[in-house]
Structure 1
């Protein structure tokens, strides 16, 4: 808004506003919008700056959320209420063998409805070109109620697929990496024959060693470095009987088997995520980059709105000269920040959602849940308002007489 535009504003709008004591927002929204939109180049720069800050925060924080979910995906999708694991296990992927009798001890404990064997092991997948890829073998009984693969493609039933001799199920995300083109192909894991009998969709792994689901019998025969392979297990997922107390059942199991860890699903999921987040360089790097993205985004948004306000000091001086009170100017500045922040956030979040959609089939896709989208919007608006409040200090020093010089 130019000085000429400001001078022709209806004086009655200002006459009704006390100079210092009351907040009267009459026409402040309209003036704030015109302040933003009058100079289109400056307006575009403001919106682009806020949108870029939103995009930066959205993508980096979305990657962090994906990281957390991926590190505990087997636990979160298992359907188990409790887990029996070897003492001191840090994460589900780094499994330690258990004695199979732990399952039978669990079944004889009051409050336990179902206890099943579950096996994780490492293997080397041999591609048609001879290249070997590391995979994580997940062994589960075909008739199990917990730990089965999920999100199967093409109408494949997990239980029926695992009944196939030598059958394995892999995820589409890693099909190219493993050299898999179609169902029915034959490969080798640790020099043992396997046949691809189905595909899942979106089961990611943080280590980039794909999960390969197979029957417990087949997993025992192909997993490497397992003592007493014919009876090997690494976990016992448990479902608590209807009406039984989860915590009371956990305490009974822990008392009966003090040399193992008995964890709730939430505890095991948290332990797995925390290990990768705080005990490895990858997790620390991801957290640091997310915090840096948040800081940079906030600084960009704040600096953009602050500069936008400061560039319009002559216009605000004009408003003071024709009768605008201090709080009237404050209302304009704050609303200008809110409007600019909202538009920039909408543009930036649209870009975030587009990138999430485009990357949905990648092995490290960012996530944008509703709570994250809303949180970023709130942060952006708060930062924009804070930037405007900082610039308000300059408004209080405006000398209305300057506009007539």
Structure 2
């Protein structure tokens, strides 16, 4: 039997949610743009928060060790306290340990060259404040000083090779190698032209460079020999170390069991930690115990609140303007549940439509921020999923607050 041309398939229900979005285009664009702005803010805050966690373990990721020895007063890498160097020799006597290398670290003041180095060489364009930074004289900035035993280089990879290549020059008094990725103020670009380098008010020579990257505690670093470290840091001595880096003979050994044994056998002025435990302590300190982590975490909350307010205002205005239409639907038999689903679907459309461009914009801003601030900004799938679910939840919450007007509306009152 042939199908009648008049009996075509017709949708049982008109997609009112999509019709509502496309009917008032300006209002819908405002909602999507406002939520998109909030989502971009959330992604940026999460990116900064992730950068805090990444930079917290940046140095440890370049070090070769299985177990770390630190002082009980250890706070974080840049403020590690110290313990007797003899504890490293004691650790070497424990079965399964093949080596225990020392590492020193502290913060110091670096004498940065003026900008520009030669004021007479500046052009008229460089002197326009709007397009260039104003010239400045010599300044001092804090940076991280890392001391190593050149005969027991603890670093691995390219950084370890850079130290080995400069080892003979680092044995000379008051010499350092400077991180190429440090803030430009530290002067890597003019290392061969400037002659007034100082570290903690002592003359110093830059003999080479390496690549490590900056963090939120220090945006620059230098590496030197242990002898020079003691010269630069008056409170340091060769009988005390800040961090001990223990390597095991068998990489498949039970590290946690060895850590427990070390903590039993070594005096209480030092504690042993696995690499994971040390990394967790660093991340916890920077994310939970500092204003940096709290600031970015609060930024996520504020951005979500902005998105919630924008969506609520738009949906509320849309529902108020369409109350007669919703009243008509209720009068002809549509339930409150159906009308609620229409508004919830409309909010879902806003959430999806705002997240797609927001992720694209955030990806571009991540690249710009990483290049300008020299910090690792990673747009992870976990953050994208979190932001989508958060924006969807925000939209759903705003929709549920708005839908009360429809549920309590009386068709008879609206058309009286």
Given the alignment of the two structures, is residue 160 of structure 1 paired with residue 168 of structure 2, yes or no?
no
Alignment root-mean-square deviation, CA: 3.2
**1:14-163 map, 5 Å:** 26-28=13-15, 31-129=16-114, 130-141=138-149, 146-148=154-156, 157-163=162-168
* Distance across 2 between alignment mates of 1:162 and 1:381: 56
Q: CA deviation at 1:372?
A: 1.1
- 1:107, 1:163 → 2: CA distance? 27
SS of corresponding position for 1:381:
helix
Give the C-alpha shift of residue 373 in structure 1: 1.5
**Compared with structure 1, are the counterparts of its residues 147 and 308 closer, same or farther at alpha carbon in structure 2 (3 Å cutoff)?**
farther
Distance of aligned partners of 1:116 and 1:216 in 2 relative to their CA distance in 1, 3 Å threshold = same
Does the CA-based 8 Å contact 2:176-2:222 persist in structure 1?
no
Deviations 1:78-99, CA, capped at 9 Å, x for gaps: 3433210112211111022332
Name 1:19's counterpart in structure 2: none
CA shift digits 1:334-365 (9 cap, x unpaired): 22111111111222232222211111120456
Instruction: Specify the SS of the correspondent of 1:226.
Output: coil
CA contact (8 A) 2:169 2:207 kept: no
Q: What's the CA shift string for 1:244-290, capped at 9, x where partnerless?
A: 11110101111111321212223223323333444444554444444
1:200 matched residue in structure 2: 211
Is 1:46–1:308's contact at 8 Å kept on the other side of the alignment?
no
SS at match of 2:222: strand
Measure, in 2, the Cα distance between the counterparts of 1:65 and 1:335. Answer: 32
| Structure 2 stretches lacking a partner, 5+ long | 1-7, 115-137
Q: How does 1:174-213 map to 2 (within 5 A)?
A: 174=183, 176-181=184-189, 187-190=197-200, 191-200=202-211, 203-208=213-218, 210-213=220-223
**Distance in 1 between the 2:67 and 2:308 partners?**
41
In 2, distance between residues paired with 1:299 and 1:400?
28
Decide whether the 8 Å contact of 1:183 with 1:198 is kept in 2. no
TM value normalised by structure 1 = 0.80
Q: 2:356 aligns with which of 338, 342, 346?
A: 346
Is it true that 1:265 corresponds to 2:275 in the alignment?
yes
What residue number does 2:256 align with? Answer: 247
Match of 1:238 in 2: 246
Aligned equivalent of 2:399, options 384, 388, 398? 388
Distance across 1 between alignment mates of 2:19 and 2:187: 59
Show CA shifts across 1:13-44 (max 9, x none): 55xxxxxxxxxxx543xx32221011111111
| Secondary structure class of the residue paired with 2:83 | coil
**Any conservation in 1 of the 2:367–2:377 contact (CA below 8 Å)?**
no
Q: What secondary structure is seen at the aligned counterpart in 1 of 2:244?
A: strand
Structure 1 residue ranges without an equivalent (≥5): 1-9, 15-25
Q: Does 1:293 align with 2:303?
A: yes
The answer for the alignment partner of 1:331 in structure 2 is 341
For 2:321 and 2:153, how far apart are their aligned partners in 1?
A: 65
Aligned position for 2:119: none
Q: Are the equivalent residues in 1 in contact too, given 2:62–2:159 (CA < 8 A)?
A: no
In 2, the alpha carbon distance for the partners of 1:281 and 1:387 equals: 31
Secondary structure in 2 aligned to 1:197? Answer: strand
Change in 2 beyond 3 A, CA 1:12/1:286: closer
Q: Number of residue pairs matched?
A: 376
Native 8 Å contact 1:71 1:205 kept in 2: yes
